[in-house]
Amino acid sequence: MTYHFDYLLLCLSTLFTLINPIGIAPIFLTLTERFSDDEQKTIAKKGVLTGFIVLITFAYLGSYVFALYSISIDAFRIMGGIIFFRSGLKMLESIIARTRTTPAETEEGLEHDDIAISPIGIPIVTGPGAITAVMVLAGETNGAQEQILLLLSITFVMLITLSVFLTAPKIFKKLGKSGARLIQRLMGMILMVIAVQFIIDGISNVIGTILLDIKL
């Protein structure tokens, strides 16, 4: 029971800090400012749904990718930790999602009526960090219960993201730029701690495997 709670907490904290709904909300507002309120709501729903589908797909196909390329979960855990640490450091410095979308992608998105799938759904909501996270977390599952917890975590964080998008104007009017930056920095610190733990766990398991092979 304790393990399941710890795993659920890990999933929620990792996905929430990586997707960073409050941090990406200003980007959403910038990309959709020329649309009406109803159109903004439609774009928000479609963009979050796109992100949800992508995360679910990678979460449940991750094991096949590991098997196909003979990648160990520990190797992916270490690599994921490095990516998470880099993302957390940028959040700590209040650099909002610069690596998620290029100026060309943003400009292209603004030229089309439907920007929900790209760049909002991918890569703003669902960036490389979030995709890596669900694959690593999926590799941590030991049965159906953990898989259900991962699914629930993805669903919950996506619903939070949708809620933030729909209420973004009101949220940022109350928080202000300073408040938003403070929240982003706190999430960055949490993400960096998670990243370090991922790296430590991955390296520890690799060293343990090497020592076991030496003894044998």
Question: Mind listing the pLDDT tens digit for each residue in 37-55?
Answer: 899 999 999 999 999 999 9
Low-confidence ranges of the chain (pLDDT < 70): 1, 94-113, 216
Q: What pLDDT is recorded for position 113?
A: 43
The span from the CA of 147 to the CA of 8, in Å, is 10
Q: What pLDDT is recorded for position 172?
A: 75
**pTM for this structure?**
0.76
Strand residue runs (E) in 63-189: none
Q: What pLDDT is recorded for position 94?
A: 67
The span from the CA of 76 to the CA of 140, in Å, is 11
CA atoms within 13 A on the CB side of 115: 26
Q: How far is CA 213 from CA 66, 71, 157, 199, in A?
A: 22, 18, 41, 21
Q: How far is CA 103 from CA 19, 107, 118, 148, in A?
A: 20, 6, 13, 37
